[in-house]
Structure 1
């Protein structure tokens, strides 16, 4: 089963195929860079698909019209605090996803001399 098919199966309302292919390529490039490889091993197929699904969820959550999640509520003199993920300069959603999956990716990492 290809990564595209796995992603489509895991999502209830998947984006268009063209957009999915872009996300799959974007995550694939990040995997190759992290692992110092020119290919993505077949054993990483499901990890790759899960990373794409997480990326799509993260992009939907960070959409401009998405409502922020409530972090805390204080009832006396009503105070509501919303969560905000602050990225370091240059950090992308893909970097966040790669960081989340780094333990699975370490097994396929090659040394660079």
Structure 2
């Protein structure tokens, strides 16, 4: 069973295969970067799939406008200034997912000199 098959099975209403493959590739690259590896071990197949499912659910739950933070409000002529976020929504989602699965990924992490 591939990561794509696992993700499709776990999601009730999965996106198109192209979009799923994009999520799988994005999460896979995050795993490779975190573990300092060029490959993803077979033992991480289910962790990889679970991370993709969590990322899709997190992005479905978050509203794109909710990432904006109000910097200041002026009532006279009603001005609202939004603070720009340092990280994009996708980076925040990937970081949150990685933090959740850190303990499982540490077992496969390689040292870098």
Q: TM-score, structure 1 length as denominator?
A: 0.77
Q: C-alpha offsets along residues 82-105 of structure 1, whole Å, 9 cap, x if unaligned?
A: xxxxxx732421111011100000
- How far apart, CA to CA, are the structure 2 residues paired with 1:103 and 1:4? 23
Secondary structure at 2:33's aligned position in 1? helix
Whole-Å Cα distance in 1 between the matches of residues 52 and 112 of structure 2? 26
CA RMSD, 1 decimal: 1.6
Partner of 1:98: 98
Aligned pairs (5 A) from 1:1-113: 1-64=1-64, 89-90=86-87, 91-113=91-113
User: Tell me, which stretches of 5 or more residues in structure 2 are unaligned?
Assistant: 67-84
Normalized per residue, the structure richer in helix is: 2
Superimposed CA distance per residue, residues 18-63 of structure 1 (whole angstroms, 9 cap, x where no aligned partner): 0000000000000000000000000000000000000000000113
Uncovered stretches (5+) of structure 1, i.e. residues with no partner? 67-87
Matched residues in 1 for 2:112 and 2:10: separation?
35
Q: How many residues align?
A: 92
> In 1, Cα distance between the equivalents of 2:29 and 2:17?
18
CA–CA separation in structure 1 for the residues paired with 2:3 and 2:31: 14
